């Protein structure tokens, strides 16, 4: 983690949290899925994020998940643990616990529901970063939280030594470039359709939901760009687009579509937790079709 521009690696997967058929945390399945993701191209994993159903897992489950995945993948990849909540004190406690459990960094989302103003948003992140023993990745996803981390707020927060990166789901490409131009924050595309576009203007990499199913295909986009083969990178991103749309652009949440698809592949996934509901047969068949079209054409 010596390169501040890629503090958590390059190709990160926003990993689902596998559950047993009865809905309990599947630690064995989590380890097996994590090992597959690393073997097929991911150099970092984000646990207990949006795709990982963090709102419906307990504090103890979050800690157990970090330990199980660390045991499965060893030290060869970076683990970033989602610790965001609507409560600053609780978030700081989760950040400390994540570091002790083996996380290399923590993902901290903007406080939701209370809709704090920007000064309060900044104070929240600073307090968590002050409390954490590991670096912080800010998570800007206003479509879910109701509150943006404004570019000016990002620029101020970049002065904190413990805040090193951003997972971006803001859909504000101009604002992103402004922050990258004025700070050393490492940006990670949190929307799969932006993986190549954001990387091309200087991002560190991605935190990909689609990588749960096709980690090698996501990594290949960035590999091609790193090799200065921009035409191939664009072609590979384009080939991913139908699966990206099916998994993240449909009416169903990405957690639901990812677990449905992985289930058809015989990979650890299990059910989603309420209030989410599983994908129906038609949606699941459509996901598998898009997956087969992509993998069959590899």
Which residues does the annotation mark as catalytic? 139, 167
The length of the chain is 298
Strand partners, 163: 136
CB neighbourhood size of 239 (10 A): 16
Q: Distance (Å, rounded) from C-alpha 208 to C-alpha 193?
A: 10
* Residue 190 DSSP one-character state: -
Distance CA(81)–CA(295), nearest Å, equals 30
Cα of first residue to Cα of last residue in the chain, in angstroms, is 32
Q: How many CB atoms lie within 10 A of CB 146?
A: 14
DSSP-assigned beta bridge partners for residue 136: 106, 163
Inter-residue contact 47 to 82 (CB < 8 Å): yes
CB 47 within 8 A of CB 57: no
**For residue 275, is the peptide bond before it cis, meaning its omega torsion is within 30 degrees of 0?**
yes
Question: Is the torsion defined by CA of 34, 234, 182, 115 positive or negative?
Answer: negative
- CA 19 to CA 277: how far, in whole Å? 14
Type and span of the H or E element at 41:
none
């Amino acid at each position: 983690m010596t390169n501040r521009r890629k503090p958590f690696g390059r190709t990160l997967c926003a990993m689902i949290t596998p559950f047993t058929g009865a809905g309990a945390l599947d630690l064995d399945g989590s380890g097996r899925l994590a090992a597959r993701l690393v073997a097929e191209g991911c150099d970092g994993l984000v646990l207990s994020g949006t795709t990982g159903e963090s709102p419906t897992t307990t504090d103890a489950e979050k800690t157990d998940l970090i330990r199980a995945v660390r045991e499965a993948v060893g030290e060869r990849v970076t683990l970033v643990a989602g610790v965001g909540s609507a409560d600053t004190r609780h978030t700081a406690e989760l950040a400390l616990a994540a570091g002790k459990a083996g996380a290399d960094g923590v993902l901290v989302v903007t406080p939701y529901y209370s809709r704090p103003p920007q000064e309060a948003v900044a104070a929240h992140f600073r307090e968590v970063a002050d409390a954490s023993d590991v670096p912080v990745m800010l998570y800007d996803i206003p479509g879910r939280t109701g509150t943006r981390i404004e570019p000016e707020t990002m620029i101020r927060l970049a002065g904190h030594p413990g805040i090193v990166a951003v997972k971006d789901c803001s859909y504000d490409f101009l604002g992103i470039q402004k922050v990258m131009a004025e700070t050393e924050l490492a940006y990670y595309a949190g929307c799969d359709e932006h993986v190549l576009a954001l990387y091309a203007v200087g991002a560190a990499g991605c935190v990909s939901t689609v990588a749960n199913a096709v980690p090698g295909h996501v990594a290949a986009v960035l590999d091609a760009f790193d090799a200065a083969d921009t035409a191939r990178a664009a072609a590979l991103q384009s080939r991913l687009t139908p699966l990206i749309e099916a998994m993240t652009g449909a009416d169903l949440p990405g957690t639901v579509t990812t677990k449905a698809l992985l289930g058809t592949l015989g990979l650890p996934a299990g059910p989603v937790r309420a209030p989410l509901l599983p994908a129906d047969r038609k949606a699941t068949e459509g996901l598998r079709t898009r997956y087969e079209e992509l993998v069959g054409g590899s």
